[in-house]
Amino acid sequence: MRAGVLSSESWSFAGARPIAEPKETVLKQYAPPTPTAWNKETFADEQIRGLVRRIFSPGLDPPVQQVVFSSVEPETDVRSLCTWVGDVLAQEKPAEIAVIDETEVSLERRSGGRDFDAHSQHRTTPIRQFATHIHRNMWWVPPRSSSPDSSHRSSLSAYMAELRREFEYSIVAAPASTVSSLALELARFADGIILVLSARHTRRVTALKVKNALGRVRLLGTVLGDREFPMPTSIYRRL
């Protein structure tokens, strides 16, 4: 994944003699430690922390407080990634953070699940009351109602503005950009979008098409998932 932290070792010598030890013994004693094997879980955590620190850096101009994550491939799990990013951000900043699920409309939500109608002009209940307090300063916000609305664009604008008022940071998990235009529409009202690529499935030409379709939407970066081995930086930068 694109986004790249994680021993100190103490040496102690005892029973020193006033005579030199054989050369082979000295070489053995001062041999460098054996390099540890590459660990994808540790590497992924380092990359996510690096992503959070870069994207939400106070020095970024303009600053980012609301970001949309969208995959290129519909099979990619963006919700888990957004939850991970939100958790790291909650550790990094003493601010109220919301992770919003807009990836799909499930059967449970259609049958009266715990979602709410963001399109309604009469809804006065704060979003926070529908959110689940995960831990510390982090909330999980359920999806908006899937009912059709003729003022969809204006409703999205109002919804994103409401999220911005209630939470200092909001991370939106959107549907794949190749199967829905919702990610692009959400990103127009956010501070930018991050595209999630799959090392196994995403083709370069497909990723370029999605990138070109963004238009004036601010592309904050890309995340590469499904990596099973380290990739040279020079190659990764070409994505």
pTM over 0.85: no
Lateral strand order in the sheet of 97-101: 132-135, 138-141, 97-101, 169-173, 66-71, 193-198, 219-225
The fraction of the chain above a pLDDT of 90, given in percent, is 40
Pairing between β-strand 169-173 and β-strand 66-71 as defined by DSSP bridges: parallel
Residue 36 pLDDT exceeds 90: no
Closest residue by Cα to residue 192 from 209, 206, 174:
174
List, for residues 49-80, the tens digit of each pLDDT value.
999 999 999 888 899 999 999 999 888 899 99
Which of 165-169, 194-198, 229-233 is predicted least confidently?
229-233
pLDDT digits (tens, 9 = 90+) for 207-220: 899 999 999 999 99
Beta strand extents in 77-149 (DSSP E only): 97-101, 132-135, 138-141
CATH of segment(s) 23-106+123-236: 3.40.50.300
pLDDT grade for 152, boundaries at 50, 70 and 90: low
Question: What mean pLDDT value characterizes the chain?
Answer: 75
Mean pLDDT throughout 27-46? 64
pLDDT score recorded for residue 160: 93
- Work out the average pLDDT over 106-124: 44
- The pLDDT confidence band at residue 120, using thresholds 50, 70 and 90, is very low
- Of 14-23, 86-95, 180-189, the one with minimum mean pLDDT is 14-23
Q: Cβ(95)–Cβ(137) under 8 Å?
A: yes
Contact (CB, 8 A) for 198 and 228: no
* Predicted local distance difference test score (pLDDT) of residue 32: 58
Q: Tell me the pLDDT band of 155, cut-offs 50, 70 and 90.
A: confident
Most confident range (mean pLDDT) of 23-32, 99-108, 166-175 is 166-175
Rounded Cα gap, residues 81 and 176, in angstroms: 13
What are the extents of the domains in the chain?
Answer: 23-106+123-236
- Residue 108, burial from CB neighbour count under 10 angstroms (0-12, 13-18, 19+): exposed
Tokens of 208: 């370029």
Q: For residue 96, give the amino acid letter.
A: E
Q: How far apart are the first and last CA of the chain?
A: 12
Number of alpha helices (DSSP H) and beta strands (DSSP E) in the chain: 8, 7
